[in-house]
Structure 1
Amino acid sequence: MTPSKTPPETAPPETPPKIAPQPSAKDRAATPSVIGSTAPSIMPAWVLRHPHWPLVALHVPLTVQAPVYSIIGMEGRPSASLVMIPVAAALGALQLRHSLAAARGERPAGWRWSYAALLLLVYVPVIWIGTNWEAMGIMALASTMMLLRPRTALPLCAAEMLVPVTLELKSVIGGPLLQIVIMLLYAVVVPPLFTAALVGGARLVRLVNELYATRTELAAAAVGEERVRVSRDLHDLLGQSLSAISLKGDLALRLLAKDVTAARGEVESLTGVAREALRGVRAIARDEHAVSLRTEIEGAAALLGAAGVDTEFDVAELPPLRGPAQDALAWAIREGTTNLLRHSEAQSCSITLSRHHGTVRLEIVNDGVRGVAASGSGLAGVGERARAVSGTSAAVVRNGRFILSVDVPEEAL
């Protein structure tokens, strides 16, 4: 390695990074986002905000049908009086209690008692009401599926299915064969379908609630990640810029009594650094800040030279670097330079870029160690950027020298 105050050419001058065009309002409306989709929904918004109300509405016709059948005598003569209305209402309330608990992924307190009461209200009236009351068996099937474990629920549901089958056979015995077949199919097919509607409705409400909880967590995580990004980028950007301003200000003060022209040049350079930092802060706020490995190497050479640090560069053998890996290495050079200026008393420094078995390695070594290596927020940001491209980073003190190394895979370039 050859001592130098300016780095050798690592690549042809890079063109300024292009900022991708922002999508139009029409495009954004056509593309759903993770946090909140702007695409039109097939469901009313109030249904998505209150998914339990459709589940409540589903219980109403199932609760009403049996009393209506019984009072008007759907199967033969009227077989019940108005007293069955409060019985049906109690049944509906018990089933709704079980359904809403299932929608929360739990069983309600005292579920054994409410389940036993529901079974009594379903099957005891069948003794004198008959087929007009068998529709309530849907609630018994649904509660069995919601409250019991599968190994217990499935055999019990099979036993409960014998009730409507027996009632239908009893009502059509001696009739035409086609009528017997149709009523048997009704007894076997219809109750499981309504049961599936109740159980599936409760499960759907639970999934919708979990979806909204997940979307809320994702929104909070996205906000947290954005805060971390802004904090990290501002730290890395302003750390070097403020160090440069401090160095150039001190140099201008020292030159003021000896060489006014040179001091004026340093002040002009200082204002240029400040303006560049301001542009960088604005770009970071819009997530449009781009870094260049070549520019960062040149900036490190200028800053270290102004600080009187004898710097060696070995970066000439690498081809032009692009993409996220280049960003990780460029930010590492910026942070390594800032860390050296702020936290060391270095007299010499070396910056090396090399390739080893599909991995590009950056090493920044200086001799100005003040103590043991510490892991500050800047070095943590270097590690985060390296891990984002499947790389690694390390900061160690060895033989009186501070070594910052970053390794990124070539396929990330």
Structure 2
Amino acid sequence: MSQSRPWNMRRARWVLVAAHVPIVAISPVFIVFGTPGLPTPSVSIPMAVLAFLALGGLQLHHSLAVARGVRPPYGVLTLLALAVLVYAPMPVYTWNWVPTQVLLIASAPMVLPKWPAIGAIVAPLAGTAATAGILKAAWPVGSAFTLINGFVYWPIVLALMAASLYGSARLVQVVQELHNARTELAELAIGRERLRVSRDLHDLLGQSLSAISLKGDLALKLLDRDPPAAEAEMKSIVAVAQEALRDVRTVTREEHAVSLRTETEGAAALLRAASIDAQIRHELGDLPPKAEAVLAWALREGVTNVLRHSEASTCEIAIRRGDGAVRLEITNDGVRAASGPGSGLTGLRERARAVAGTVSASVTPGGGFRLCVEVPEESE
């Protein structure tokens, strides 16, 4: 996308330039080849080309700035210069030069604030109608046709051509804004995916690594006095590591599912292996998948924090239902001094917020720590 975007924008700008060419060229072509029935002053092709370049350059200065989403630099001065180029030759070239007013009408809203722009748009249209009365003798077909031509035809044509110039510039601006929005959305999606992977890896591997460390220490202690038990712990470490590897693979595919019942059983086994008295009370039953997932992740994160950040001897885990909500509460003693804010609780709050749940964590009066997570039962 980063390579195609500049090309697409260049192409859009060239389309904008191409849309200007025939409209800007109308009057230079008229003054060279003339209009049937109108006196045509002798004008050389180089002079016509010079007029085309001057008019087109000023108009593109305005249109390309609008396409970039900015006000044209020195816009008032360039608009005045364009007005001089439009109206100074008008007495000489008469109706042949009338189409140049479309550039002034199109440029006015690009350069001026709202009300001055409206005035700058209305004035040329009204002036064209007034010119019909002044120049009616120059049109041999008759005064009636002259009036229709001046009062109806040219104002409508000028308005439509000006609208096409202004609209094409705005269209390119919208295209550019859409490209920018698409780029921002892609970057936002990448950022969210990185946060999700980071959060899931933290939640998945935190407990697994804590279990490996715990079981490794236990295996070392048992190695001399109970080799078979040490061997069992080593095999358990291998199983935990293999499970962690499978979990990491599922993270990249966003397929990892967690079960509250499985996490409850695993938490009890892990706490007891760490010689922590685990007291678990729960009212599980059937829960909506998203609510169950949030509570399962919360239980995993809470138990991991007990193992890593406390010197707990007891840990109480309670899961209760009531008042249309499910509440998980993890309380432990032996809390250590906080070393700084961690990412685990931040990720947990994000998960809970996604299902309209809440997370609170606090130190208890007895020197323990309590983590509370509550989610509505009807989470979908």
Relative to the length of structure 1, the TM-score reads 0.84
The letter for the 1-side match of 2:331 is: V
Residue aligning to 2:315 = 349
Aligned-pair identity in percent equals 48
Match of 2:166 among 199, 205, 214: 199
Aligned pair partner of 1:358 in 303, 306, 324: 324
Q: Label 1:328 to 1:285 Cα distance change in 2 as closer, same or farther (>3 A).
A: same
Alignment of structure 1 residues 40-119 onto 2, 5 Å: 47=8, 50-75=11-36, 76-82=38-44, 83-119=47-83
Match of 1:379 among 345, 354, 371: 345
Greater RCO (Cα-Cα under 8 Å, separation 6 or more) = 1
Contact between 2:17 and 2:60, CA under 8 Å: does it hold in 1? yes
Residues 104 and 48 from structure 1, CA distance in 2 versus in 1: closer, same or farther, beyond 3 angstroms?
closer
| Map 1:175-214 → 2, pairs under 5 A | 175=142, 177=144, 180-181=147-148, 184-214=151-181
Amino acid at match of 1:289: H
- Paired with 1:311 and 1:263, the residues of 2 have a C-alpha distance of 23
Q: Which among 73, 77, 90 is matched to residue 126 of structure 1?
A: 90
- Describe how 1:145-164 pairs up with structure 2 within 5 A: 145-164=109-128
- 1:292-307 paired onto structure 2 within 5 Å: 292-307=259-274
By how many angstroms is 1:366 displaced? 0.3
Contact 1:138 1:191 in 2 (8 A): yes
- Give distance in 1, aligned partners of 2:68 and 2:167: 13
Secondary structure of the residue aligned to 2:258 is coil
Tell me which amino acid in the other structure corresponds to 2:107: S
Aligned-partner Cα distance in 2 for 1:260–1:49: 73
Query: What is the 5 A alignment of 1:7-26?
Result: none
Q: Distance in 1 between matches of 2:14 and 2:325?
A: 58
Q: 2: distance between equivalents of 1:346 and 1:95?
A: 76
Cα distance in 1, alignment partners of residues 325 and 159 from structure 2: 61
Unaligned ranges ≥5, structure 2: none
Q: What whole-Å deviation, never above 9, does each CA across 1:34-88 have from its counterpart, x for those lacking one?
A: x89xxxxxxx995555321111111111121111112111142323402233123
For residues 255-295 of structure 1, the C-alpha deviation after alignment (integer angstroms, 9 at most, x for no partner) is 33333332222222221111100100111122221111111
**1:98-124: CA deviation from partner (whole Å, max 9, x where unpaired):** 111122222233222211110010011
Contact 2:200 2:251 in 1 (8 A): yes
Decide which moves more: 294-303 or 162-171: 162-171
Cα offsets for 1:8-36 (capped at 9, x unmatched):
xxxxxxxxxxxxxxxxxxxxxxxxxxx89
Give the aligned residue type for 2:169.
Answer: A
Letter in 2 for 1:91: L
Indicate the residue corresponding to 1:237 in structure 2.
204
Aligned counterpart, 2:188: 221
How far the C-alpha of 1:168 sits from its partner, in A, is 4.0
Q: What CA RMSD, in Å, does the superposition of the two structures yield over aligned residues?
A: 2.3
| TM-score of the two chains, using structure 2 as the length reference | 0.91
Query: Aligned AA for 1:369?
Result: V
Distance verdict in 2 for CA 1:182–1:111, change over 3 Å: closer
Residue 394 to residue 147, structure 1, CA distance change in 2 (3 Å): same
> Aligned to 2:126, what secondary structure does the other structure show?
helix
